[in-house]
């Protein structure tokens, strides 16, 4: 890899892709061409980044060109360096730091022994070696009990084989935000539906109950059951249509079970999914 892979300019247009979605920690250096302290720190900072071979990256924001981005992060004086990890700001320093202090700061961002075990586990998981992956995730958690990537990885494996009892405990301690936080919400939603619908989804039977229902309320409750079963089978979009119909048919479902199930389906799909946004708006209109 070349220097450009580790050190690059960033703007408001690519900040999310290059910083928030980075798979390694990123130092975001807010600077300007006229800032002498910025220019003085530049060679030392870039040297230390290059020495770590891509395990940490440096994103540079010219505050003159990116005033809105600077305002968004409360930049009032420069140099100001924010450190992002897993999509979240985890540290910050202003002014010039000595080389030794900078090196110590960067080394503190490098993967720990538990994080390395978790990375090894992910490789095994992706290769389909799930027993080996599970053992490595559990070993990682012995060293760092609250290591999010190990908790999410282990939850994925357990849920895939239908062992949902431990999943909620693992995921309740995962930090919100970032890709891991979103995945944790999605996994918790899958576990929630798996708990609601133990065993086979039996979608055909649930559809038959909807067709056979007589009153509006009976049909609403049958649709609620069908919606939960569709979600348990991973058919979240079809599930949301049944759940919104159930909510429209019975106000007790709207303010209770159907609303809760829809929120879980939103988590399973992801908050930014267009279907989530559509059905969230429809739900809010019903609740108003």
Question: How far is 265 from 16, CA to CA, in rounded Å?
Answer: 25
Question: How far is 216 from 218, CA to CA, in rounded Å?
Answer: 5
Residue 114 token pair: 């538990």
Question: How far is 65 from 95, CA to CA, in rounded Å?
Answer: 20
Helices (H), the chain: 3-6, 15, 36-51, 67-72, 99-107, 113-126, 130-143, 148-160, 167-172, 178-196, 203-212, 216-232, 236-249, 251-254, 257-269, 274-287
Helix pair 274-287, 236-249: axis angle to 10 deg: 10
Nearest Cα to 210, choosing from 197, 193, 226, 196?
A: 226
Tell me which DSSP letter residue 127 carries: T
Q: Are 188 and 168 in contact (CB under 8 A)?
A: yes
Question: Which residues have a catalytic role annotated?
Answer: 35, 38
Question: How far is 34 from 41, CA to CA, in rounded Å?
Answer: 13
Question: How far is 154 from 146, CA to CA, in rounded Å?
Answer: 12
Question: How far is 137 from 251, CA to CA, in rounded Å?
Answer: 44
- For residue 79, whether the previous peptide bond is cis, meaning omega lies within 30 degrees of 0, is yes
Handedness of CA 182, 183, 184, 187 (dihedral sign): positive
Question: How far is 41 from 114, CA to CA, in rounded Å?
Answer: 32
Residue 83 token pair: 């450190």
């Amino acid at each position: 890899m070349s220097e450009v892979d580790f050190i690059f300019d960033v703007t408001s247009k690519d900040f999310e892709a290059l910083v928030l979605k980075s798979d390694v920690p990123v130092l975001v250096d807010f600077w300007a061409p006229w800032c002498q302290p910025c220019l003085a720190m530049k060679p030392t900072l870039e040297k230390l980044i290059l020495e770590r071979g891509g395990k940490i990256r440096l994103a540079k924001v010219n505050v003159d060109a990116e005033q809105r981005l600077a305002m968004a992060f409360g930049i009032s004086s420069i140099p100001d360096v924010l450190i992002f990890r897993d999509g979240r700001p985890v540290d910050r320093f202003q002014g010039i730091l000595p080389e030794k202090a900078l090196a110590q700061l960067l080394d503190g961002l490098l993967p720990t022994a538990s994080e390395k075990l978790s990375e090894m586990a992910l490789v095994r998981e992706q290769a389909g070696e799930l027993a080996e992956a599970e053992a490595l995730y559990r070993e990682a958690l012995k060293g760092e009990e609250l290591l999010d990537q190990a908790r999410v990885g282990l939850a994925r494996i357990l849920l895939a084989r239908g062992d949902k009892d431990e999943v909620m405990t693992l995921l309740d301690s995962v930090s919100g935000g970032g890709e891991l936080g979103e995945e944790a919400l999605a996994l918790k939603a899958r576990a929630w539906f798996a708990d609601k619908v133990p065993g086979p989804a039996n979608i055909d039977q649930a559809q038959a109950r909807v067709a056979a229902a007589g009153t509006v309320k009976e049909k609403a409750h049958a649709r609620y059951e069908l919606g939960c079963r569709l979600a348990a089978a991973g058919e979240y979009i079809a599930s949301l249509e049944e759940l919104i119909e159930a909510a429209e048919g019975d106000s007790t479902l709207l303010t209770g079970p159907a609303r809760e199930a829809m929120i879980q389906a939103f988590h399973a799909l992801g908050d930014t999914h267009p279907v989530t946004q559509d059905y969230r708006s429809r739900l809010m209109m019903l609740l108003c």
